[in-house]
Chain A
């Protein structure tokens, strides 16, 4: 039961809501329009002739007029449309007929009549051009392109006063269903005008010469700042019209075209309006008030004050708000009369445009904050504010005078003068007198209380440390020179490395087990050592020429003899079969002998 009641309540509310929504549609005016989908057709094509009744859906079928050269193929088909935009409900009913041409020629359909509630409504006649299929290629697209998309630029008036509003309207007409792409609008490059946009762009449909157009409307308020013949330059649009390929069926059906992917080619379209010449008149000198400050329009003025009970010298802020139709930014500061007893400061102002969307006229306000300061007690009211403006509607000057605001001004209390800034008096400066000279207090910083008596340059460790870099430099120079000599002087390098090389060779020989290798290494080490020391080829060192080669050095004959013997023993040991039978002890003795000989030679050579 409860659910049932709830359902009833919801239904009731919905019914009320629907009835409320439906109220505006009864008030809607009945309008009858007739239109065709295209004005030029071939003998093979059909044309859709539609009659739309706006504002009612309960009408009878309109009376179709006598058709010349055309025959009714099908119809009418009915379609009802309800639109709700911003709570505004609009309804319409459309009767559509399909007509086929009989004979080529120009025909007029209509006017169509409709009787509804004892009133007769008629449409404008619609022109149709029936052509043969040969002509259609010429007329089809190119002829119609001018009617399919075009623009208009207009002003609401051709004559105006300076700073009087002129509404510039730009309209783009595009046939319903005609596809366009990359639409680009170039507004007129207006000079000598102040511009204010009048709301957002409007979009609606309009029937013209039997064709339904989708219209985009842009409006701009112009305020001329110059006098004379002023030119509004042309506006331009650029777009691409998307035209179907001619290979396909000429009948236009977007659904099938899109479904089968019909190719469309872009046809660039550029439209330009005619320039508009406006006559701007100067403001009349006759009757111009003396305090006129350039305001043009229709305005009201409000004056208010926050404080009315003040003391002498206290500021009073008068708020003057001027609102109305016109270019509020151009309004000058209103004049003030009866300012005796007041100190008047320049006003600060701010302005805003409040209405530009709904109305055709720009509306706004400008607020002046004027500070006045009473200089004597007993003043009863504020000064009078006068504001003069030129009303272009009546072509007359008007002056608004505000009634003074009653105030109470009391005598000020005695106050200390406020020093705002130095007045730059050249008064001689006085020197501060030194009362007593005295020494400054003790130093008590314990963190820096270190023994400064130790002089660093007397510290022997530090001085010793300072010799290290010097030693490093000397050592580096010696090393560097030695390295360079090793690189450049090969005999020096051989001589210096001889002992180390020989020692390493003999050390390596110590681990050998076979006699032949041992003798070979010893012989090689000795020969190479002597060759390196003498800077001679190794092959030139033999046991026979040793006395000659080493004769120039301070070597005893015993050493040379022992050396010769040692080399001979090695040679013998390497190549003689007899020696192979000897134990390794003989080889070790030769090795020790070679080591001793090299050490002895190292001292002398």
Chain B
């Protein structure tokens, strides 16, 4: 559409600014790029284009101000609902919590993601009695705010109410202490750390090329090790994002032997149980469930253990699982 109404130079500028805006997701970058790309004589025209084509340039993501406004509104709804709850007006409270969760969801679906929003959404779902959704959102929040103590407390409380007993191989404290950056930083923080080490390492290598000092050699080795460690941590951290973990959001869910209703049920698991997604089809998920199985009781020997682990892997309907 633009192509037909404006001069060729302007169309090129618009396209370039579109590309930059998509890459950066910042209006200012887009306009700046356009300002540089067009001549001064077309500046007025350019401003008009930005005005009319703002939606085209930046279609879905909320601006921070809008996000804050919605977030504040949602928090207000939640607080009002809490007051209703204390006044034993449960229906009004339920309505308030639903409204608050809808507002939080609206912010998140627009592409604006923040640990606080997930946490508050988790709280709103918890109040509605949707334990699965609450745990799902707490876990999502934990990915963004791994050091938050309030979040840990709420997640622990929510998990305590899950019917199925969780069985996860927790990482020992020693490993936590050694690889502290892995467990205490979110993906973006880990990226910044790795990038910092990358830049420092590059700088020290550059120095080494020109000034061949032995201490620079040692410095390069030290920063190189740090870079490898942080980059490896980042890669491991990113992989689960792609591999996928999930939470059962339906009240009950049957783990089947195959991807379909026709397959027999292995286990019946309940809302809030965490799973590890291994494979995904159109409507079904192959997943490993973190539950303790009663049939195997006290597992003795390696074969029993393997059998137990294999038994926990099965197929789940996609609509009953929330992906973290």
Interface residues in chain A, defined as those with a beta carbon under 8 Å from any beta carbon in chain B? 437-446, 448-457, 459-462, 466, 469-470, 472-473, 476-477, 480
Contact = CB atoms under 8 A, between A and B. Distances in A.
Contact of A452 (B113, B203, B238): B113
Contacts of A451: 61, 64, 67, 111-114
A509 to B, nearest CB: 38
Contact of A449 (B114, B202, B205): B114
B209 A473 contact: yes
Interface string B63-74: 010011001100
Given A437-B157, A469-B203, 11 more contacts: A440-B153, A440-B154, A442-B120, A451-B111, A452-B115, A453-B114, A456-B188, A457-B187, A461-B23, A473-B209, A476-B210
A450 B64 contact: yes
A439 B113 contact: no
A448 B150 contact: no
Contacts of A456: 187-188, 191-192, 195
A453 B123 contact: no
A455 B150 contact: no
Contacts of A469: 198-199, 202-203, 206
A452 B186 contact: yes
A1 to B, nearest CB: 101
Tell me what chain B mostly uses at the interface: helix, strand, loop, or mixed. Answer: helix
Contacts of A472: 202, 206
Interface centre among A446, A461, A477 (most CB of B within 10 A): A446
Nearest to A453: B113
A264 B319 CA distance: 122
A457 B113 CA distance: 16
A452 B23 contact: no
B142 interface: no
A84 to B, nearest CB: 86
A470 B238 contact: no
Contacts, number: 97
Interface residues of B, number: 47
A439 B206 contact: no
Contacts of A440: 150, 153-154
B158 interface: yes
22 contacts: A437-B160, A439-B126, A440-B150, A442-B78, A442-B79, A444-B116, A446-B68, A449-B64, A449-B116, A451-B67, A451-B111, A452-B114, A453-B112, A453-B114, A456-B191, A456-B192, A462-B195, A469-B199, A469-B203, A470-B202, A473-B202, A473-B205
Contacts of A477: 209
Contacts of A466: 195, 198
A417 to B, nearest CB: 41
A450 B115 CA distance: 9
Interface string B146-176: 0000100110011010000000000000000
A439 B210 contact: no
Contacts of B120: 442-443
Given A451-B111, A476-B209, A446 B72 contact: yes
Interface in B1-47: 23-25
A460 B71 contact: no
A148 to B, nearest CB: 80
B75 interface: yes
B187 A455 contact: yes
Contacts of A437: 157, 160
Contact of B119 (A438, A443, A454): A443
Nearest to A477: B209
B249 interface: no
A472 to B, nearest CB: 6
Contacts of B269: none
Nearest to B188: A456
B108 to A, nearest CB: 8
A95 B97 CA distance: 125
A441 B206 CA distance: 51
A444 B123 CA distance: 13
A451 B26 CA distance: 12
B57 interface: no
A449 B203 CA distance: 34
Given A439-B158, A473-B206, A473-B209, A457 B191 contact: yes
A453 B111 contact: yes
A445 B151 CA distance: 14
A459 B113 CA distance: 16
Interface pairs A-B: 8 shortest CB-CB: A453-B113, A469-B202, A443-B116, A456-B191, A440-B150, A476-B209, A439-B154, A452-B144
B234 interface: yes
Contacts of A476: 206, 209-210
Contacts of B154: 439-440
A521 B72 CA distance: 83
Nearest to B153: A440
A446 B188 contact: no
Interface string B107-148: 000011111110110010011000000000000000010000
Given A451-B112, A452-B144, A456-B191, A443 B198 contact: no
B163 to A, nearest CB: 17
Interface string B183-218: 000111001100100110011011001100000000
Contacts of A449: 64, 67-68, 71, 114, 116-117
B209 A442 contact: no
Q: Which of A444, A457, A461, A470 has the most CB of B within 10 A?
A: A457
